[in-house]
Amino acid sequence: MLAYILNLATLICINAVLAITLNFIMGYAGIFSIAHAIFFGVGAYAAAYFSMHVSASLFLAVPVSMLVAGLLSLVLALPALRVRGEYFVAASLGLQVLGVTVFSEWKSVTGGLGGVIGIPPVELFGHAITDPVQFLLLTLGCLLPILLITNILLRSSFGRNLKAIRDSESAAHAFGKNVAAIKTLSVVISSALAAVAGALYAFYLGFINVESFMLDTSVLLMAMVIIGGTGTLLGPIVGTVLLMLLPSLFSYMWFLPQTEIGAIQQIAYGSAMVLLMIFRPSGIVGSRKRSNG
Amino acid sequence: MLVLQLLINGLQVGALYALIAVGFSLIFGSTKIFHFAHGSAFTIAAYVFYYAYSVAHIHWLPAILAASFATVLFGVLLDRFVYAPIQADEGSFFTVFVASFGIGIVVQNVIGMIFGRSFVSVATPLSRSIEIVSGLYVSPLSGIAIVVALLFFFGLQFFLMHTHVGMGLRALSENPELIRAYGLSPRRLSTIVFALGSLLVVPAAILSSADAGLNPAIGHHVMLISLAATIVGGVGSLRGAACAGLLLGMAENLALLYFEPQWSEAVTFIVLFLFILLRPSGFFGRAIAS
């Protein structure tokens, strides 16, 4: 039972990192990315590759995976953000589909559909972290700084610029803000921080394959942010905890067909998204009505 | 010969993509609703036809009618009970998109639970390919797809240009306020747009399931095509969306000359990306770059 709770807590922390970073662009910059799982995956594969071939040290592997994911997001964001918001949805959906193909075909790095096995445990000052409690602490140790960094950023002038762009792009432009640069930077930050979650995930499981980084994951992350409350501090965390507890909750309901748990879970959060948008667009945590997306 | 074969396949796939894209573009252009559940309309049409024709063994004509009815009903109900309340309240791009996205998730999983998540195929007498010249296989479906796409497209053009309702729909895309001033109801027009847009995916859904089969997750592919074609063709231009759909179908098939089939969606993405990069207003669109 303890092992089960530790496992769930670690996964919640990893997903919370993803939800917080997704909220950073969705809630504050008004950019809707359906490709967040790809940056998660790029982080995971980069960390796996680096730790197996160069070094498993946390302070080397994590920055490398952040760098790779950040650069990739730059390639996507530079052209796609010059134009309207709908375009980014389309471009990110395309990237998500393309990314899954690359993950399952680039066999020398990603191991194809079989995935990467035998990822060494992460090392912190030369000490390999294998104990689940220690790993949970490490994940928390990554989650908290990320929460802090995104918060500091949002309270800074950069964050105010982001919100200004979200509320009115032309107004921000008229005030002399470089809209495209600010949006691009926010996407790069968000993707690089999502890669931290990817690296942690790879080290935690010691095995990764493409199934963790499919469209379903991107959709789940989006649901976490939206159900919790976009553009709020606690929203993504509340959403993550809720949606991560949902499968275990459903498995206690004996009357549900156990083989369909996955589908029932998706139906549950899909309908939650629809109902929330009709009755409470700001999510569970949000109270104030959003004026403009 | 391979090139010719791929060209014919590309034309068939492209014709169906054009229908899908025109449906999405019509809805998005006139109501400004980012109808992400357009893919679900496709899935519903395809599965209703599959169930009626291949499982219940009903004659093809009532099966098509059943599929059309279910799909139009889906579109209209969605407009009435999901989009209308949201739009009455505030209706930002974000809220509508998320609700539509949620519908997509629900439909995909409900269909997955009913029909299973694996691949199903619909075998019709027309699905078999005939060898016309040695090495060149063409199924009657290719011809039907092209003819149906042309019929629907020109029918829609005629409807939009020459009927009162059609003119109202075009006016809706220009200025919803003015519509009210002329005593027309934007709500009623929106219902008609959803009925029409959903109806347009029905032939595409039926023909492509008879040709290539289907699975519950096909809606995502349909959405990618619709979005890519709408952007490549230029937002708000039906002609552009149709041409772009055709272009994407052709590109996807001709790419098979050089790449393995699993890369076909990558080709769609590259075409989309090049357009965003080089010509963000699309074929016929107005300049929209911010």
User: Residue A27 domain-assigned?
Assistant: yes
Low-confidence ranges of chain B (pLDDT < 50): 287-290
CB A148 within 8 Å of CB A233: no
From CA A35, how far away is CA A44, in angstroms rounded?
15
Residue that is written with structure tokens 């159900």 in the block = A227
Using the Cβ of A20 and the Cβ atoms of chain B, whether some distance falls under 8 Å is answered with no
Residues in A closer than 8 angstroms to B106, CB to CB, are 266-267, 270-271, 274
Give the number of domains in chain A.
1
* A89, two tokens: 């949805």
Residue B132: per-residue pLDDT: 72
User: Residue A91 domain-assigned?
Assistant: yes
Using the Cβ of A101 and the Cβ atoms of chain B, whether some distance falls under 8 Å is answered with yes
Using the Cβ of B288 and the Cβ atoms of chain A, whether some distance falls under 8 Å is answered with yes
CB atoms closer than 10 angstroms to residue A87:
23
User: Residue A105 domain-assigned?
Assistant: yes
User: Residue A153 domain-assigned?
Assistant: yes
CB atoms closer than 10 angstroms to residue B73:
13
Residues in A closer than 8 angstroms to B94, CB to CB, are 30, 32, 230, 281, 290, 293
Hey, of A87, A184, A226, A292, which one would you mutate to test binding to chain B, going by the most B CBs within 10 A of its CB? A87
Using the Cβ of A181 and the Cβ atoms of chain B, whether some distance falls under 8 Å is answered with no
Phi, psi (5° rounding) for residue A117? -115, 160
Hey, of B92, B269, B278, which one would you mutate to test binding to chain A, going by the most A CBs within 10 A of its CB? B269
- Check B110 against A267: CB less than 8 A apart: yes
From CA B272, how far away is CA B180, in angstroms rounded?
36
Which structural domain, as residue segments, surrounds residue A22? 2-211
pLDDT in tens, chain A (293 residues): 888 889 899 999 999 999 999 999 888 888 888 889 999 999 999 999 998 888 878 888 889 999 999 999 998 887 767 666 777 888 888 888 889 988 988 888 888 888 888 888 888 887 778 788 888 999 998 899 999 999 899 889 888 888 888 888 788 888 888 888 888 899 999 999 999 999 999 999 888 988 889 888 898 898 889 888 888 888 899 999 988 888 778 777 777 777 777 888 888 888 988 888 888 877 777 765 444 43
From CA B49, how far away is CA A37, in angstroms rounded?
34
Closest A-chain CA to B93: A293
Residue A183: per-residue pLDDT: 87
CA–CA distances in Å: residue A86 to residues A112, B208, B288: 32, 27, 11
User: Residue A111 domain-assigned?
Assistant: yes
Scan residues 250-279 of B and list those with Cβ closer than 8 Å to A: 262-263, 265-266, 268-269, 272-273, 276-277
Closest by Cα among B52, B58, B86, B91 to B71: B52
CB A232 within 8 Å of CB A27: yes
Residues in A closer than 8 angstroms to B288, CB to CB, are 83-84
From CA B81, how far away is CA B87, in angstroms rounded?
11
State whether residue B132 is helix, strand or coil.
Answer: strand
Residue A144: per-residue pLDDT: 93
State whether residue B219 is helix, strand or coil.
Answer: helix
User: Residue A243 domain-assigned?
Assistant: no
Residue that is written with structure tokens 């109801």 in the block = B185
Predicted TM-score of the model (pTM): 0.85
* Through-space distance between the first and last CA atoms of chain A, rounded to whole angstroms: 43
Query: Strands A123-124 and A127-128, how do they pair?
Result: antiparallel
In this prediction the ipTM stands at 0.82
User: Residue A230 domain-assigned?
Assistant: no
Residue A288: per-residue pLDDT: 53
Residues contacting A281, CB < 8 A, separation 6+: A289, A290, B86, B89, B90, B92, B94, B95
User: Residue A288 domain-assigned?
Assistant: no
Nearest Cα of chain A lies from the Cα of B37 at a distance, in angstroms, of: 12
The CATH code of the domain at B2-278 is: 1.10.3470
Residues contacting B134, CB < 8 A, separation 6+: none
Q: Compare CB distances from B97 to A32, A95, A291 and report the shortest one's residue.
A: A32
Residues contacting B44, CB < 8 A, separation 6+: B67, B70, B71, B74, B107, B111
Residue B290: per-residue pLDDT: 34
